[in-house]
């Protein structure tokens, strides 16, 4: 193995570890939010705000972090970002009022901005034909959501929810130190010093960037929203205890993180467009089935009225949830393959914009989930909402990509016929 390959491997491994820890912290409220909700007597909408607040800052900070990564390099930005979250994480155990949790949650949420730093940092260490794989491996750090669901419930049951922030603060500090000693910096990966902020932000006027934002708002925003919501959904819909509910919710979070690396390989092999197209169709079908609420209806037949009960049991529901998690994992990788293919010299800024919008989806969705439950009383309304968002993405993709490819192919077919 050459020295360059050793650096590539070390940077990718440590960045993935760091992102996994950051994501676990970012998703912390998915578990500790449940005992906090009970402690404070929160309604569904307030609970949605509680678990979504860290996602807000983690999303908004992605664009400036992506710009700083392009300017100063990913190593220094990633290191200081992790250090900046240690204090707020530790302070979480001292919060007693709802506004305390919201305020501290805003600072804890900075950990979620690590994605736009690490994705650009890792991609620049690899050749173009391997960037999809590298970004997919790094993105597997999304499995930090599953890590939280596997680890945090045991801590809550054994020591109470206040122990979770203490453990996570220590883990973040140790990870930051390890990251600094086992990663490298290459000045050639930075944008030229004469590039201004205004020039970097010109990407905001590109409609193609906004299309990728829409795709990412479902494959990542939907992933974050459901990762935060599903533990509570299993508790309230099926009556499971916290530990069992979190374990079942990990059936979505774990493949949604780990298999992102496979999605990167698939995007390198078959292209970002083809992978994303099938991801959206699979998600659309699964969400349609998951949207149907527990129902009873009566049909008048020739032999008299017949009552039918439609109910999605936990086994079938979990299988569908797992499928959506796999699809979202592939989709998160394919969207960023689009970016590395089309914006190779501006990955930090573009990934910051796309990551920001995707993260905002993860912020808004849990609040909307809670509001819909409060308004309708139907828990599956969360999946109805996401079904609609996927439908918008499918229409947009068909009109701008699929139809265009069909129009290109038709003249070619006609020319072959004439020959």
CATH code of 46's domain = 1.20.1250.20
Say if residues 9 and 130 touch (Cβ distance below 8 Å). Answer: no
Instruction: Give how many domains the chain has, as a whole number.
Output: 1
In terms of residue numbers, what domain contains 32? 3-418
Banded pLDDT at 198 (limits 50, 70, 90): low
CB burial class (10 A; 0-12, 13-18, 19+) of residue 288?
middle
CB atoms within 10 A of CB 188: 5
Least trusted range by pLDDT, from 92-106, 264-278, 343-357 = 343-357
Q: What are 324's two structure tokens? A: 């959506």
CA dihedral 111, 116, 121, 123 (to 10 degrees): 140
Arithmetic mean of pLDDT, 334-351: 79
How far apart CA 4 and CA 126 sit, in angstroms, is 10
What's residue 192's pLDDT?
Answer: 63
**DSSP state letters, 91-132:** HGGG--SHHHHHHHHHHHGGGGGHHHHHHHHHHTTS-HHHHH
Which pLDDT tens digit goes with each residue over 40-63? Answer: 999 888 998 998 889 888 888 888
Residue 282's alpha-carbon distances to 194, 257, 279, 288, 323, in angstroms, are: 45, 17, 5, 10, 8
- First vs last Cα of the chain: how many Å apart? 52
Banded pLDDT at 200 (limits 50, 70, 90): low
Arithmetic mean of pLDDT, 251-277: 83
Q: What are 193's two structure tokens? A: 């010093």
CB burial class (10 A; 0-12, 13-18, 19+) of residue 116?
buried
């Amino acid at each position: 193995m050459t020295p360059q390959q050793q650096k590539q491997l070390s940077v990718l491994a440590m960045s993935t570890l760091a992102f996994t820890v950051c994501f676990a912290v970012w998703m912390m409220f998915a578990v500790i939010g449940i005992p906090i909700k009970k402690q404070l007597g929160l309604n569904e909408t307030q609970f949605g705000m509680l678990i979504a607040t860290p996602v807000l800052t983690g999303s908004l900070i992605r664009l400036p972090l992506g710009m700083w990564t392009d300017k100063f390099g990913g190593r220094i930005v990633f290191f200081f970002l992790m250090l900046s979250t240690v204090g707020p994480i530790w302070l979480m155990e001292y919060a007693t009022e709802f506004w305390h949790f919201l305020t501290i949650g805003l600072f804890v949420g900075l950990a979620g901005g690590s994605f736009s730093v690490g994705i650009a940092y890792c991609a620049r260490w690899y050749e173009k034909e391997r960037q999809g794989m590298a970004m997919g491996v790094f993105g597997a750090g999304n499995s930090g959501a599953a890590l939280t669901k596997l680890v945090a419930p045991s801590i809550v049951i054994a020591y109470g929810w206040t122990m979770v922030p203490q453990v996570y603060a220590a883990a973040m500090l140790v990870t930051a130190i390890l990251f600094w000693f086992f990663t490298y910096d290459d000045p050639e990966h930075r944008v030229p010093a004469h590039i201004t902020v205004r020039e970097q932000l010109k990407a905001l006027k590109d409609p193609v960037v906004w299309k990728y934002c829409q795709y990412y708002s479902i494959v990542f925003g939907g992933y974050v929203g459901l990762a935060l919501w599903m533990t509570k959904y299993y508790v309230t819909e099926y009556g499971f205890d916290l530990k069992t509910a979190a374990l079942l919710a990990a059936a979505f979070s774990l493949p949604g993180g780990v298999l992102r690396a496979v999605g990167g390989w698939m995007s390198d092999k078959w292209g970002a467009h083809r992978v994303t197209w099938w991801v959206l169709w699979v998600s659309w079908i699964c969400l349609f089935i998951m949207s149907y609420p527990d129902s009873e209806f009566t049909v008048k037949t020739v032999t008299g009225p017949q009552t039918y009960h439609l109910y999605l049991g936990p086994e079938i529901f979990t299988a569908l949830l797992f499928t959506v998690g796999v699809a979202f994992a592939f989709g998160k990788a394919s969207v960023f393959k689009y970016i590395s293919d089309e914006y190779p010299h501006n990955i930090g800024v573009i990934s910051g914009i796309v990551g920001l919008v995707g993260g905002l989806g993860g912020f808004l969705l849990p609040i909307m989930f809670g509001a819909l439950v409060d308004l309708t009383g139907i828990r599956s309304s969360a999946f109805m909402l996401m079904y609609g968002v996927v439908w918008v993405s499918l229409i947009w993709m068909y009109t701008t990509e699929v139809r265009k490819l069909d129009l290109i192919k038709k003249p070619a077919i006609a020319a072959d016929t004439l020959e």
